[in-house]
Amino acid sequence: MDCNCNCFGIAASSKRPIKRYNLLVPDIFPRKQPSFSDKLDSSIERKIKKLFEYLEKNVHRGPKVSRRLARKINTELRAERFGYVKLAVFAYVYLLEHMNDPQSNLFAKEVVVEPVDKHKGYFSDIIGLHMYSVVGTLLRHRFAEIRTLGAQLLAQFVQAQGDADYVEQVEAFVPVLCQNTGRKVPGLQQMGNVPASQAATDALNIACLKALQAHLLFASRISYVSHHLEELERCVLDTLNVPESEVLPSEVVPIQSGDTQLTNQGSLPSRASMRRASEELSVTEAQGSATSSGLLPVHETPRSVARQVLQDIGRMTKDAAEGKKVVEYLLKYLDSNHLWTVKGGLVDISIGVIRKVCAEEHQRYLLFSSLVRHVSTEGLGPREKCAVVELAAAEGEALEGALASPALVLALKELPYDLPDEADLAPDRAALRSTILQCMRRLGFHVGDSLHLLEALGGIAGKLPGPSSLSTSVLECLQAAAEAVDAFTGKARALPSRTFPQVLLQEMMAIMTQWEVTQRLLAHRLFITLLPVATDGLRDAQVHGLLSTAWHEVAVHNNPPQLFVSLEQLLCAVIQHCSDTALVNVVRMVVSLRLDAIEGDFGRLDSIGAARCVAVLALYNVLMDRLATQLGAPRLLDLRIQLGDHCPHLRVEAGLQQVEVPGEFAEEHDAPAGRFLETLRKRHSNPAALRRRLADALEGCSALKEPAGETLADALQKPFVGTPISALPPRIKAGGWPGGVSPSSGLNGSSTSLSDSTTRLAKKLKDIYQKMPSHRDLTRAPQARGVKDILAASTAEAERETMEESLNQTRERHYLNVAAECAVVSHSLAGVLEAVDQALHEAEDDPGSSRAGQADKPGRTMRH
């Protein structure tokens, strides 16, 4: 019978647990050590697979198997039996690859966390306990082949991770991997105690780079950013930074016997590809046969793998904050190694990879903005800056249409800081200047239409920091971008409003009247370039403002001959784009130039000198020629003044042209010019007679429209009265300029910044507007008679005509625009407050101005 009490110490084998892992693990290692360079025997492959099948059914035995493999690796490393070490690492890799994510973590303690033998942690406070783990031990070995095994094992462990349990341990190995990546690793040997060959070093580089790549992909899966990202990126860039002439044939590592076998082992397949593979794959194939996995070509170099790692680094641009760090470090690396001017070098490779990834992640603007801002980096020479600007321009042209305008605005804010002065004739700086201006033209053309282009230019013009050298550079960039208007055609060229933007014109007029000569010349050019977009021409009020601006400009004492040439081009453009009604005012202004120039002592132009007065007469002659042609009134040519050789700085050949020598006005030129003016005063001293001759010359001219309520002769008898500088629209500063440049005073000594009292009044006006919700959506306002009365009481007689013409149009405007129009005319915010109150009272008293009756008919609004 059966004896179940086991009194004799004998029991059935089924009642005693058998630890099969104690048999399966040693069974992997044959009695005779295999050669390190040989492929695994098929019998060993079957035994490793059998161990996996056992662990698949007995998951809780995973830590015990891991400890035995780790001990075997430590023992064989001390005995320098590297064939057994290779078998143990292969067993680890196979198990990590084929087990599920939670099960693979059973090997983590021995692989990356701590040593198996506790007495091995004596120096853990110095180098870290993780460095005594299996991976740490392998990576610290003196032989390149053993380090390669450690990198492969770490890469496979990272690929097997599905959560962030061991992210800190993995992160600690990143500096070690970076130290083992390079064409020359200090102290590295290969088996036989000889210096490592280039093939062994390249195989180690490939394995370490792939481990870093696995770490990047793992960090991306768990939304984690490596603490050593910059060091990792530097390691990759160092690998790529090898001139083509120095690329050795050994960088292409074929699969052969011996040391080069390590390259085949370095190509680890991805976790997904291995799971799709057949279970019959051999252990060697599972380790990284690129041919069987279909991932990578058999022939690889460190540079080709580094290019893939850089592409994975670039994918971090999906997050703008991290992507900006990646791009900025790349640009700093190119700076520190002086690589911007090396053709076909790292710049083309790295920027090309980042550009491709940014395009896939829809982050091309991030790369563009980083390049534009990088131009101002200290230490870059003109040639390096040229290279950066060219890359930025190419990247800006590749942006989506919606980002073209913001890209232009950013370039207009950043690049003027680095624009060399036009007088700087050094070849490198001249090339930089040309490159920046060409970049502006390309970005302006990429905007695609005049509306968005003028909005961008107007926004930048409104933030100019005053008459400074920076403003000169900004205006030059604005002019270059504005030249793109000539390339627009059809609907892209014309503005929807068909008139010139008032805000931009206001900025230009303020510059023309209050800034330095160089900036005024640029403002003239900018206006002339942009004027063709106003297909319906200029409004009469705009024409009067421009005439007043030119009227004031000729009275500036330091005008060079170039300014009179520019004024001629400006006024001829105004004549071409003004209405028939405004032409009467143009004729009056041109005649006033002649009278003011001949007037003599104590006249309006007395302070500019006789030579400049003669230049004003030359300008008068050219404008008379232009009016005679446009109006079809050849008799106007008889009103010209024969100057002869009394104006050597300018000559008239179909317009004013500056004579190169002499190029400036001097005091010695005033004496002969004064004598010439004295003779003119004796012959042409009667203004009334001149105006009668003018009326006779224009009699019957159909191109001129008579003003309402008076004849053409009566209108021409009135003198031209320019709007005072104090009454011209002030510049609208929408915000500060980057860099904190403070505005300075204009030519008339007035500051462009608002005073404290004006700021308080503006705030009060804003508060009043915010408290009128019942009137915000009204698009039509009643006749503001109260506003007229208020302004008429405080306005000079000469200004009332312009004021009345402007206020007659307030019926079609928003309440806030009524106030803004009044501010333009009266230049008094106190009057504006009264005007707003009066307009509100009239709106409450007038039932015909209700929302219900007028909301459907939008009126013309002003951009303030």
pTM: 0.76
**Structure confidence at residue 834 (pLDDT):** 53
**Structure confidence at residue 163 (pLDDT):** 87
Is the pLDDT score of 88 beyond 90?
Answer: yes
**Structure confidence at residue 765 (pLDDT):** 55
Give pLDDT tens digits for 336-345.
999 998 887 8
Q: Which of 577, 505, 517 is nearest to 548 (CA)?
A: 505
| Cα distance between residue 359 and residue 364, in whole Å | 6
Tell me the pLDDT band of 849, cut-offs 50, 70 and 90: very low
**Structure confidence at residue 733 (pLDDT):** 58
Give pLDDT tens digits for 164-199.
889 999 999 999 999 999 878 887 888 877 788 888
Mean pLDDT, range 191-220, rounded to an integer: 90
Give pLDDT tens digits for 627-668.
998 888 888 888 888 887 777 777 776 677 766 555 677 777
Is the pLDDT score of 792 beyond 50?
Answer: no
Token digits of residue 466: 């005053």
Is the pLDDT score of 571 beyond 80?
Answer: yes
Is the pLDDT score of 587 beyond 50?
Answer: yes
Give pLDDT tens digits for 418-470.
999 877 678 999 999 999 999 999 999 999 999 999 999 999 998 888 888 99
Give the three-class secondary structure for 253: strand
| Cα distance between residue 573 and residue 597, in whole Å | 23
Q: Which of 572, 618, 629, 563 is nearest to 593 (CA)?
A: 618
CB atoms within 10 A of CB 112: 22
Mean pLDDT, range 2-28, rounded to an integer: 66
Mean pLDDT, range 769-777, rounded to an integer: 45
Give pLDDT tens digits for 40-83.
888 888 999 999 998 888 888 888 998 999 999 999 999 999 99
Tell me the pLDDT band of 570, cut-offs 50, 70 and 90: very high
- Measured in residues, the chain has a length of 864
Token digits of residue 259: 């040391």
| Cα distance between residue 357 and residue 460, in whole Å | 31
- Strand residue runs (E) in 628-680: 650-652, 656-658
Question: What value, to the nearest 5°, has the Cα angle with vertex 626 and ends 624 and 630?
Answer: 120
| Cα distance between residue 400 and residue 619, in whole Å | 47
Mean pLDDT, range 472-476, rounded to an integer: 95
Q: Which amino acid is at 546?
A: L
Count Cβ atoms within 10 A of the Cβ of residue 658 and give its class: 0-12 exposed, 13-18 middle, 19 or more buried.
middle
Mean pLDDT, range 608-626, rounded to an integer: 89
Mean pLDDT, range 565-590, rounded to an integer: 91
Give pLDDT tens digits for 401-419.
899 999 999 999 999 999 9
Tell me the pLDDT band of 38, cut-offs 50, 70 and 90: confident
Alpha-carbon torsion (114, 120, 124, 128), positive or negative = negative
Alpha-carbon torsion (775, 776, 780, 785), positive or negative = positive
Q: Which amino acid is at 468?
A: S
**Structure confidence at residue 715 (pLDDT):** 81
Domain positions in the chain are: 17-310, 538-733, 756-854
Please answer whether residues 67 and 110 qualify as being in contact, where contact means their C-beta atoms are separated by less than 8 angstroms.
yes
| Cα distance between residue 577 and residue 574, in whole Å | 5
